[in-house]
Amino acid sequence: MSKPRISGLFVAVLIITAATSMPVDAQTAAGAKPTVTSKSAMISLRIAVPSKSIAMGQKPWVSLTVQNLGGQEISYPEDRVYVEGPKGEPPTRLRQRQLTNRLRPGEPTLRMDSYGQNIAPGDSFTMKYDLSTLYDFKEPGKYTVYIEVLDELAALAKAKTQTDYWVRSPVATFEVEPSTR
């Protein structure tokens, strides 16, 4: 065989081998996304939406699972929820403005309470979020959501920058269907 034919055969075998061993990011019924691990490898995040499509006026939910990969117990981390819709960020509700410190004049501040849920090394905890408490979903269309959480073990280990303390989940999508009245 000539050199070009061997190289072509070799490339074909590599492609077939890679394609058969490559994981496929298939959507589960719950809309689970792949796991993301923090830079410090102290926590991993997994996000899921229970329904890929909801009717206008229904509550969109998202679940975030935090797994503790570190060697000591952590509290469920401080979090920040981000949603984008057909026209950018949907209108925020008071709770989201309080959490993100984007209050309108006269709106009260939020007293910060801890969740109280501890996560032992190797364990995980799933928090469910009702997105309608944070945003007003007035527009039908596709929405994306992700959640950032504070990696407190990275903060204790004095990561290089404060942005290294925050871990961003994968992005989940759902669609708000128009009302059929």
Does the pLDDT value for residue 105 go beyond 60? yes
At residue 127, the pLDDT reads: 95
Q: How confident is the model at residue 36 (pLDDT cuts 50, 70, 90)?
A: confident
Lowest mean pLDDT among 14-23, 40-49, 89-98, 142-151: 14-23
65-76 pLDDT per residue, tens: 999 988 889 888
Does the pLDDT value for residue 174 go beyond 60? yes
Distance between CA 177 and CA 162 in Å, rounded? 39
- In the chain the domains, ranked by start, together with CATH numbers, are 27-177 (2.60.40.2970)
DSSP for the chain, written as a single string: --HHHHHHHHHHHHHHHHHHHSPP-PPPTT-----EE-TTSSEEEEEE-S-SEEETTSPPEEEEEEEE-SSS-EEPPPEEEEEEBTTBSPPBPHHHHHHTT-PPTTPPP--------EE-TT-EEEEEEEGGGTB---S-EEEEEEEEEE-HHHHHTT-SSGGGGEEEPPPEEEEEEPP--
Distance between CA 44 and CA 66 in Å, rounded? 6
